[in-house]
Chain A
Amino acid sequence: MRQRRVVTALAIPLAFAFVAASCGSDSSSSNVTTAGTTATEGTTSTDTTPRETVPDVDTSVVAQTEKPVMGGSVTMGLEAEATGLRPWEDSCSSPCYNIMRTIYDTLMEEQGSGGYGPYLAEDLTPNADFTVWTMTLRPDISFHNGTPLTAQTIVDMFPLQQAGAAGASAISSSKLTGVTATGDLTVDYTLSGPNSAFAAFLAGAPLGMPFDPAAATADSAGYSTNPIGTGPFTIKSRDIDNETVVVRNPNYWRTDADGTQLPYLDSISFRPIPDEGTRLDALLSGTVTAMQSLRQGTIRDARAAGGNINLIEFQGNNTGGGMYNTAIAPYNDQRVRMGLNKMNDQKRVIEALGGTGISLPSTQWFSTDSPWWTQEAADSYPAFDFDGGKALIQEYVDDPARTDGKAPGEKIDVELSCPPDPTLIAAMQVIEQVWTGTGLINVKLTQYDQATHINNAVSDKHFAHCWRWGGQGDPAAQIDPFVADPAVSVANFPNYNDPEMQQWAAEADATDDFETRKALYSKIMTKINEQAILWYSGSTAVMVATEPDVKGIISWDLPSGEIGVGIPDAAVRWQEVFVSAG
């Protein structure tokens, strides 16, 4: 869910603001072993070319061809500790999903082709206007403690989800109002309005990961250290901030195509290693056998580290960037916003972030690999144009009716605020130099710690504000709250209230025709670009690097045989990972 990710994406670098290390810029690459070089059926790559002349990064997903081996274990270095392991309560981000997905299964899963397929569910069918969704559960599934998973379990989970911080937010944005059991294994989800993207919510933690409601009610706090799910692994020990060990669930319900029971691995040990450099060193020295990273600089360093590691890169639907608070001057004038955006040198910002040749410039919520990416939205994002941007600012400055109340000819004041993350500090200095270079703008750079930075946005005390956009999953979950009436939706941070965009979003929620929905969201993203409400830098490249014998990281599939989405957010689905004998 996007809303979760925004916080955590900021939180992770910031928690270690003192020492955070990562990123730089160097486009050299050697010995890159991406997941595959040939696009086969079920790949997530599209045939679109990026606008800039930046080499594409091959991150296609292909089926695993090597025969899996049973046994073995993996030690994985994560970029942070999971906040908690309670799906209904805790914010979950990339490292947390790595652990959670071993313990819990999701009801639905995201497919490489873009839709959602049943996973723990057997079937999910909406009614005609997408206000009631009927789910059929797989039979004979039980939790690690032996409790069977039934329709009643899903019903009993609902009050906990309503009361949980993570659950409440997901319930609110999914429009879910009630859960009723209509049979032993059939459940009706009733919504307050049409939501054709409801399946996406059942593929994430707060609503889509069945947990044992009885145990959770008995000891909510304890559930985090002793989680119970239906997943391929069970918890063995949890030493917070140091090591979490999960071991094979011998009764797991899934088998692979050959009928071998999953998972392949005996155990996985998760080790949070917040320092990017240390995590890579831990892999290189054998302290861990796998690691994840969401930092371009680390990907660069891993590429340079040589051929002894297996490097799996993935372009996720996340992008850095920022937004303007359109409720206040001078950002309430489109010319100012567009002028500033035109002078936002994406290529150099990405270079400052350390992502040249690793992350691609983004123009919208989705990366070029996503089926939701559109050329229309891409074309509407302003290309770097110093003179054009300066002219717009000049127009505003000379306007007697300028909204900031200053006399014509006076410089405008712009405050750009980012969390004190080293990569963002670098990026904001790049932006500052160009803006200041116009001679028309006084730029003030400020940094506040993550809690303050987020609070400033939530309580509308922001100006030009660094932020992250995009996220895995359906656009409805991400874009709808963003364009909703700011008086109602806290997630409309730029406070840009546009009935037209809200109408488009409502239309998109009322149909499940992919092309129609794609066209509607494309119109929204295009309008966002034309109105210059926010800006983008580069899409977030993620990586999982392993020792060469760890296989099957990216090529997981759904029970239907449909290939999965890969490793967005560097969150691995562990059930099909194995350690190769050779």
Chain B
Amino acid sequence: MATTEFDDAQNAEIVSLTGGDTTPQDEFVVPQGVKPPRKSVWAVFKEMPILVKLSTIWLVVLLLSALYAQLDVRVFHGSLPLADPNLQLNGFNPKTGEFGTGAVLESPSWQHPLGTDALARDTFSRALHGTYVSVIVAVVSVTCGVVVGGLLGSLVGFVRGKTETGLMAMIDVLLAFPALVLLLALISIFEVRDLFVISFVIGLLSIPAYTRVSRANSLAISNREFVTAAEAIGTKKWTILRREIIPNVLPTLLAYAMVAAAAVIVVEGTLSFLGLSVQLPTATWGNMINQARRDIKVDFGQVLYPALLLTFTVLALNQVGDFFQRRSSHRASSL
């Protein structure tokens, strides 16, 4: 449907975009599989295009600062130079025993690089502390989706038959089931608002999508020459799945996972408004965005900063992800 309907529009666009001065042969030729020698991390880094380099630096800085924030809380009990993310600067300060003189929704300053939020808390510090939660939620739930959904999808797309029918019916049930009902039920079941429980729940809800995407690819790959050939020479099904299907399903799945990661971080913030997320006043990027929303007409920055962090991180993840995907596809000789 898509192809026939939109052909003309795209054709026009693609022509103008490609400009016609490239040598298409080069685009399509895949370097044939000579395994390059293992390189040091530094060598790999040097190999990166500038955008990927910047992205890597961003991710490393982010991880280090999340680590720093965690160290500050867990090891040094707030003695490192970083504002307390939960201290309301206009409220009672247990450390000094006095009431602070801070203000709500302050503009950025040297003291508060990203200003303060609606409760007069240091936004910079909250963003740093929020990194930890947001990254954990994104990584755990996406991993959950990719591993379970990816495996199931690859399997049924390849094996087919009754297994496929049964499993896909179950997936339909999961997809059609109102997520909010499930979430509210889980709130009443799990008293603890554990970070990993939340990540798991989000992951669980995303499994159907991963399953369907990987199944679609698995279906296509299962009929390629190299798979039918492998079957013909009596290779074990499990081996085919592992060697041929999964490696070929993975790129698409990962591409999906990396864009989904951003959505997950925002969803977590939405969940905090259902009471199903980390206990208040813990900061996450998602709940920072959502809590600042009510003041968006007064102080746009408080929505903007966490959203920008999210944007840069997603961009960086995708850049780096693409780079490694390219590298691995250059190495693997699936053709």
User: Contact residues of A with B, CB < 8 Å?
Assistant: 17-26, 276-277, 280, 297, 300-301, 304, 345, 348, 351-352, 354, 386, 420, 422-423, 425-426, 428-430, 432-434, 436-437, 439, 444-449, 452
Residues from chain A with Cβ under 8 Å of B281 in the complex: 429, 432-433, 445
In the complex, besides A24-B104, A445-B281, 13 extra interface pairs with C-beta distance below 8 angstroms are A22-B294, A23-B294, A24-B105, A24-B118, A24-B294, A276-B294, A301-B298, A351-B104, A352-B119, A425-B273, A426-B291, A433-B92, A446-B275
Contact of A352 with B118 at beta-carbon distance under 8 Å, contacts A425-B291, A432-B280, A439-B94 already known: yes
Contact partner of B88 among A23, A304, A430, A448, CB < 8 A? A430
Contact B118 A436 (CB under 8 A): no
Interface residues on B, range: 20 to 34
Residue on A with the closest CB to B95? A437
Number of A-B contacts (CB under 8 A): 109
**Cβ-defined contact, A25 with B118, below 8 A:** yes
In the bound complex, how far is the Cα of B104 from the Cα of A26, in angstroms? Answer: 9
Listed by A's residue number, 11 A-B pairs whose Cβ atoms lie within 8 Å are A20-B273, A23-B295, A24-B104, A25-B118, A276-B294, A420-B274, A426-B119, A429-B281, A439-B94, A447-B274, A449-B184
Majority-rule SS of B interface residues: loop
A453 to chain B, nearest CB (A): 9
Could you tell me if B270 and A348 are in contact, using CB atoms closer than 8 angstroms?
Answer: no
What distance in Å separates the Cβ of A356 from its nearest Cβ neighbour in chain B?
A: 9
A352 → chain B closest CB, angstroms: 6
Bound Cα distance A236, B104 (Å): 47
Residues of B within 8 A of A432 (CB): 280-281
Chain B nearest CB from A447 CB (Å) reads: 3
Pick the contact of A300 from B91, B280, B298 — CB < 8 Å? B298
- Cβ-closest chain B residue relative to A417: B275
Asked if B293 is at the interface of the complex by the 8 Å CB criterion, the answer is yes
Q: What's the Cα separation between A439 and B95 when bound, in Å?
A: 11
Cβ-defined contact, A430 with B91, below 8 A: yes
Which residues from B are CB-within-8-Å of A430? 88, 91, 119
Q: Which residues of B contact A (CB under 8 A)?
A: 86-88, 90-94, 104-105, 118-119, 184, 187-188, 270, 272-275, 279-281, 290-291, 293-299
Given A17-B274, A18-B270, A449-B184, A348:B91 Cβ within 8 A: yes
Q: Which of B187, B294, B298 contacts A448 (CB 8 A)?
A: B187
In the complex, are the beta carbons of B298 and A24 less than 8 A apart? yes
A472 to B88, CA, bound (A): 35
- By a CB distance below 8 angstroms, the chain B residues around A23 are 294-295
The 10 closest A-B pairs by CB, nearest first: A447-B275, A24-B295, A437-B92, A437-B94, A21-B294, A445-B280, A301-B297, A420-B275, A429-B281, A22-B294
Complex alpha-carbon distance, A280 and B86, angstroms? 32
Partner of B294, one of A423, A433, A439: A423
